[in-house]
Chain A
Amino acid sequence: MGIKVDPKKCVSCMACEMACGYHRDDGFALLSSCIMVTRGREKRDYSAVVLKEEENLVIARPEGLEVRKLGSGGEADQSKGKEDASAKPLLLREPCDLCSDREDGPLCLQFCPADAISLG
């Protein structure tokens, strides 16, 4: 069971990132979110939604899903190509806990205005 993102539906609004930030910090902040929209390639209009799980970095790219194994130090396996630099801070953060302490479940899912996030 994990968070799934459909990048074709995603409109890069960052609501999931802010919702996760709230889940972590009980305030509005983007410091601790474990889900993130990469925005570093603005002129090329290329972005992905990246999620840090316990053991994987899951990258929902427009052309398809990529899963990278995280090493014991939390670093991602870089062999499959370069990561957007804007997603690097994610590696240092707590992994997704599926909002297990919330009665209503994953907050990112509830705040996605495009229904791009599901649980599967």
Chain B
Amino acid sequence: MEYLSTNKIAIVDLTNSKVSDQELDKELVKEKIGGAGITTALYEEYQKEDPVILGTGLLTGTLVPASALSIITAKSPLTGKVCHAPITLYAGIELKYSGFDYVVIKGNSSKPVYLWIHDGIADLKEANEIWGKDVWESTDFIRELMGDPLIQILGIGKGGESGSDFGQVCINYWASGDRWGFGKLFGQKKLKLVALRGMSLLEIADPEEFVRECKELLSTIKKGSFAGKKGIGELSAALGEDIRKWLEPIVHRHLSCFNTSFPTNTFVFLDEEPKRLKETDKEEPGFLITDLYGLLGFKKLGLSASDTCALLRESAKYGMDAVAVAELSQKAGKKKPDEIKKTLSGLKGALESLGKGKFSPWCPSFNLSTDEWERRQAVAYLFGIHPIFALMSPELSEEKLIELANLGTGLAFTAETLDKVIADILK
């Protein structure tokens, strides 16, 4: 695959500690587009070895607005179905720039390992020194070891290592949209983390037209209903739950995922003056809220914004899905932060908020019907568009994305191709 691609798939066999790579066949792209279309095909090809597939969208890491997304596809230990979880922030694009469009991780390792993917090379490394460390410590360890603070990490903490159903694959220090227990799967495979870094170059079939279209699309988006708004509080308010007054006193600032107009993430300061502009000398002053439902879950228990965010931080350090922690704490009648913190080890129970489809319920429904929501998610997960922003921006229409895909790759995708791929991944 020549354009918008690194043209490489890594095949990582954990059982035999072997890594190989293969070309990304243009015919596969023509047939399955990218993202969830191709991760699903790769999952099916390797399903006997219980694979975890990492994949980029067709347009991930480009100037297409909100092209921030990569995905994890695997069989959820929670639902028993093949599901997809979003990889956002900067980690989604780092996968593509690390030199691989897709990574198949199959089998189980007998000892703790991590996968270091950088500049077109995938290396399996021994992880004895980080197995047992929390998510934050592991991220710090790898970045210090490699001397590069920009390495992006998909990693687990004690939650996933201990086989909790709610173990989450986190992104760097923060919660992710993994609501499928993929952390448990990493733990079973003895895969502590995947570290990503790279400086690839993606060629474009028709660069001028592609970039012109991206520019036009961005200017339409900038006139849309979310223009000028920022942060998780505004997102929540748009969904009918106004938490702005509750959260605002601890907000430090709002942060976007790569090239995404609306910042869906909000950094709060818990141990530092929130309005401080200068760099703090505190090592860990706060937390980046990346998951609205974890936040709302703890708020529902009557907790203050500071206590809520401190629990989100503890959940992320432990590598646990905060939504599950909040829901199961509520069921058990636990409302005090200390009591809730103690539930992190050994958390068990059935979740009402469990996702029922293929795509992570991390992304709100925006009052769409299940079918409409699923289709929109499918489009986002194929092209590599931020799943929440895809729902906020009707301007990122299917027609526009197909047009951009054609300009970018020189291929001839049609509405029929898209319909067929969506039907395939939803079946």
| A interface residue numbers (CB < 8 A to B) | 11-15, 18-19, 22, 25-31, 39-46, 61-63, 85-86, 104, 107, 110-111, 113-115
Q: B90's contact among A27, A39, A114, by CB below 8 Å, is which?
A: A39
10 further contact pairs, Cβ within 8 A, besides A28-B4, A46-B280, A113-B222: A11-B256, A12-B255, A13-B261, A14-B90, A28-B62, A30-B97, A110-B218, A111-B214, A113-B260, A114-B256
Interface centre among A12, A13, A19, A26 (most CB of B within 10 A): A13
For B263, the closest partner residue in chain A by CB is A11
Given A31-B199, A45-B253, A113-B261, CB of A40 within 8 Å of CB of B63:
no
Among B293-317, those with CB < 8 Å from A are: none
Contact pattern, B 184-213, Cβ under 8 Å of A = 1, otherwise 0: 000000000000000111111001000100
Q: For residue B384, give the distance in angstroms from its CB to the closest CB of chain A.
A: 12
CA distance A29 to B99 in the complex (A): 12
Among B148-169, those with CB < 8 Å from A are: 149-150
Given A27-B204, A29-B200, A44-B285, CB of A13 within 8 Å of CB of B260:
yes
CA distance A48 to B416 in the complex (A): 45
Q: For residue B106, give the distance in angstroms from its CB to the closest CB of chain A.
A: 30
For B255, the closest partner residue in chain A by CB is A12
Give every chain A residue within 8 A of B203 (Cβ-Cβ).
27
Give every chain B residue within 8 A of A40 (Cβ-Cβ).
149-150
Give every chain B residue within 8 A of A14 (Cβ-Cβ).
90, 258-259
For A115, the closest partner residue in chain B by CB is B222
Give every chain B residue within 8 A of A43 (Cβ-Cβ).
136, 173, 283-285
Among B256-270, those with CB < 8 Å from A are: 256-261, 263, 267, 269
B286 at interface, CB cutoff 8 A: yes
Give every chain B residue within 8 A of A29 (Cβ-Cβ).
97, 199-202
Q: For residue B403, give the distance in angstroms from its CB to the closest CB of chain A.
A: 18
Give every chain A residue within 8 A of B112 (Cβ-Cβ).
none
CA distance A46 to B43 in the complex (A): 39
B288 at interface, CB cutoff 8 A: yes
Give every chain A residue within 8 A of B257 (Cβ-Cβ).
13
Q: Are B285 and A45 in contact (CB under 8 A)?
A: yes
Given A42-B172, A44-B280, A46-B279, CB of A11 within 8 Å of CB of B201:
no
Q: Are A86 and B149 in contact (CB under 8 A)?
A: yes
Chain A to chain B contacts (Cβ below 8 Å), 28 pairs: A13-B257, A13-B259, A13-B260, A14-B258, A15-B258, A18-B63, A19-B63, A22-B207, A22-B211, A25-B201, A26-B204, A27-B202, A27-B204, A28-B4, A28-B61, A29-B199, A29-B201, A31-B199, A39-B150, A43-B284, A44-B282, A45-B253, A46-B280, A62-B278, A107-B211, A110-B218, A111-B218, A113-B256
Q: Are A15 and B259 in contact (CB under 8 A)?
A: yes
Contact pattern, B 94-107, Cβ under 8 Å of A = 1, otherwise 0: 00010000000000
CA distance A111 to B4 in the complex (A): 19
Give every chain B residue within 8 A of A22 (Cβ-Cβ).
63, 207, 211
Interface centre among A18, A44, A86, A111 (most CB of B within 10 A): A44
Q: A26's contact among B65, B173, B207, by CB below 8 Å, is which?
A: B207
CA distance A25 to B204 in the complex (A): 11
B252 at interface, CB cutoff 8 A: yes
Given A11-B254, A13-B258, CB of A45 within 8 Å of CB of B201:
no
Interface centre among A18, A26, A28, A44 (most CB of B within 10 A): A28
Given A40-B150, A44-B283, CB of A13 within 8 Å of CB of B256:
yes
For A63, the closest partner residue in chain B by CB is B277
Give every chain B residue within 8 A of A26 (Cβ-Cβ).
204, 207
CA distance A20 to B288 in the complex (A): 27
Given A27-B203, A85-B149, CB of A42 within 8 Å of CB of B63:
no
Among B63-109, those with CB < 8 Å from A are: 63, 65, 90, 97
B125 at interface, CB cutoff 8 A: no
Q: Are B256 and A12 in contact (CB under 8 A)?
A: yes
CA distance A33 to B261 in the complex (A): 20
Q: Which 3 A-B pairs have the closest CB atoms?
A: A113-B261, A13-B256, A40-B149
B230 at interface, CB cutoff 8 A: yes
Given A15-B259, A22-B211, CB of A45 within 8 Å of CB of B61:
no
